[in-house]
């Protein structure tokens, strides 16, 4: 890559956008648009920063697969040594299909069903991250009915502001996640008394797209205070799970590098005497977000008195983050043109005013041009829908000069297959 890169392993060379050593234009012409393209090297580079940060420690990195659960993405991380963090029975099946060893699977989420619990116990997963007293009671009942003891970690809510979007903040009193900090010791004593449960750890996750170090340090202090109190009450804690949530650069954001963040966290851990404790973390977005782009074709240019609209074939069902979170994604041409730019609102074809990809973007484009929506590796394909009976996009994984189609474009026939006409 030239020094004029947009993202690691995604940048311009010889007048066109490249993902690693493959032409984005060629991939779009071969597979159509909208099209998601991922750089394998970018994912592994992001993972390596965590692996460096944990060198010499007893630590397990579990990729939070809700960020992007495409099978080939999961296999990439599993083969690199990761476990997986799941939040549903469907994700459990995907994790197993990707070859993840069951003991490296952590089951998070506030609404696990009895059927999901039984399936996970049958599979022999490593830990349930439990989020309420009621869930502990049900899991205890299910495990005893199967003659098992479920390994559990209670997710505690430290009431720490992650300073992120309200929809992806999870560590405050008003959020639905976790056990209140003041109820943690009592909850652990209850869990330890349940014959179908085996307490193995403590869990904390304060949010997503966090770009500052202070919330992590604050949360760690509160969790370590709890570990001290819980163990003083007679319940040993084998591992400490600090969740994920580290942000990426969407619009000049400057989150700390993973190894820098963990150097600071581990220093605090050591200073407080917990340096030899087993650690678990669950990064998602920070591993895949900047490794992906979504390629879309310009359908129409629609100048107006107040706004100029650039209508593309990708929509809110492909890229839901702008509609859901008012999120910013960089948008760049695949084949840049010389000349003056115009200010455009980049919008999709779905019949909703909320169907926009980017507002007030300076672009020099013509009908039929291809655009790349950057930082599209996380929470795009995994949140995609069939709204307006739109098929989900195709996906390609690039490894050096090789490109592999990892998901075929969804057809209307695929969508109708499970439906029954009158």
pLDDT at res. 158:
79
Residue 176: what pLDDT?
57
pLDDT of residue 175: 59
Quick one: three-class SS letters along the chain? CCCCEEECCEEEECCEEEECCEEHHHHHHHHCCCEEEEEHHHHHHHHHHHHHHCCCCCEEEEEEHHHCCCHHHHHHHHHCCCEEEECCHHHHHHHHHCCCCHHHEEECCCCCCHHHHHHHHHHCCCEEEECCHHHHHHHHHHHHHCCCCEEEEEEEECCCCCCCCHHHECCCCCCCCCEEHHHHHHHHHHHHHCCCEEEEEEECCCECCECCCHHHHHHHHHHHHHHHHHHHCCCCCCEEECCCCECCCCCCCCCCCHHHHHHHHHHHHHHCCCCCCEEEECCCHHHHHHHEEEEEEEEEEECCCCCCEEEECCCCCCCCHHHHHCCCCCEEECCCCCCCCEEEEEECCCCCCCCEEEEEEEECCCCCCEEEECCCCCCCHHHCCCHHHCCCCEEEEEECCEEEEEECCCCHHHHHCCCCCC
Q: What pLDDT is stored for residue 406 in this prediction?
A: 98
Hey, CA dihedral for 183, 189, 190, 194, is it positive or negative? positive
| Lateral strand order in the sheet of 10-13 | 5-7, 10-13, 16-19, 22-23
**Does 127 participate in catalysis according to the annotation?**
no
Tokens of 57: 């420690």
- Domains present along the chain, CATH in parentheses: 5-39+289-416 (2.40.37.10), 108-283 (3.20.20.10)
166 exposure class (CB count in 10 Å sphere: 0-12, 13-18, 19+): exposed
pLDDT at 206: 83
Residue 35 pLDDT: 98
| pLDDT in the model for residue 7 | 86
Residues of the chain with pLDDT under 70: 1-5, 161-177
Instruction: Enumerate the known binding-site residues for substrate.
Output: 285, 321, 325, 352, 379
* Sign, Cα dihedral of 141, 142, 147, 150: negative
Q: Which amino acids are annotated as binding site, given as ranges?
A: 245, 282-285, 321, 325, 352, 379
pLDDT at 174: 55
Question: Of 82, 100, 351, 380, which one is the catalytic site residue?
Answer: 351
Torsion over CA of 333, 334, 339 and 342, rounded to 10 degrees?
-20
User: Do 22 and 403 meet the contact criterion of CB atoms below 8 Å apart?
Assistant: yes
Nearest residue to 365 via CA among 320, 318, 315, 303: 303
What pLDDT is attached to residue 207?
A: 80
Angle, alpha carbons 20-381-398 (nearest 5°) = 20
pLDDT for the residue 170: 44
Query: Phi first, then psi: what are they for 124, rounded to 5°?
Result: 85, 45
């Amino acid at each position: 890559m030239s020094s004029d890169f947009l993202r690691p392993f995604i940048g311009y060379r010889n007048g066109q956008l490249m993902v690693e050593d493959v032409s984005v234009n060629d991939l779009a012409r071969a597979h159509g648009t909208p099209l998601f393209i991922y750089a394998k090297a970018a994912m592994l580079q992001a993972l390596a920063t965590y692996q460096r940060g944990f060198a010499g420690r007893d630590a397990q990195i579990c990729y939070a697969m809700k960020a992007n659960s495409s099978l080939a993405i999961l296999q990439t991380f599993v083969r690199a040594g990761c476990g997986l963090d799941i939040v549903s029975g469907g994700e459990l099946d995907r994790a197993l299909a990707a070859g993840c060893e069951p003991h490296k699977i952590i089951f998070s989420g506030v609404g696990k069903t009895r059927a999901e619990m039984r399936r996970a116990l049958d599979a022999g997963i490593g830990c349930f991250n439990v989020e309420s007293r009621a869930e502990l009671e049900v899991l205890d009942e299910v495990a005893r009915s199967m003659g098992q003891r479920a390994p559990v970690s209670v997710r505690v809510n430290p009431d720490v502001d992650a300073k992120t979007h309200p929809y992806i903040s999870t560590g405050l009193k008003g959020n639905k996640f976790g056990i209140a900090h003041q109820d943690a010791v009592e909850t652990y004593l209850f869990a330890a008394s349940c014959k179908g449960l085996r307490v193995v750890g403590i869990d904390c996750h304060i949010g997503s797209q966090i770009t500052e170090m202070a919330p992590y340090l604050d949360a760690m202090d509160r969790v370590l205070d709890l570990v001290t109190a819980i163990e003083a009450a007679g319940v040993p804690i084998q591992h400490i799970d600090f969740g994920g949530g580290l942000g990426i650069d969407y619009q000049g954001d400057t989150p700390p590098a993973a190894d820098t963040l963990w150097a600071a966290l581990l220093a605090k851990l050591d200073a407080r005497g917990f340096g030899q404790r087993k650690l678990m973390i669950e990064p998602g977005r920070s591993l895949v977000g900047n490794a992906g782009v979504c390629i879309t074709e310009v359908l129409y240019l629609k100048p107006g008195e107040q706004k100029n609209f650039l209508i593309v074939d990708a929509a809110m069902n492909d890229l839901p983050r702008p509609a859901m979170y008012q999120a910013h994604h960089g948008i760049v041409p695949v084949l840049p043109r010389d000349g003056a730019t115009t200010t455009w609102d980049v919008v999709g074809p779905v019949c909703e005013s909320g169907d926009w990809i980017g507002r007030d973007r300076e672009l020099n484009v013509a009908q039929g041009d291809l655009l790349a929506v950057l930082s599209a590796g996380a929470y795009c394909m995994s949140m995609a829908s069939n709204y307006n009976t739109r098929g989900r996009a195709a996906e390609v994984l690039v490894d050096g000069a090789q490109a592999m189609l990892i998901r075929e474009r969804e057809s209307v026939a695929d969508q109708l297959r499970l439906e029954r006409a009158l």
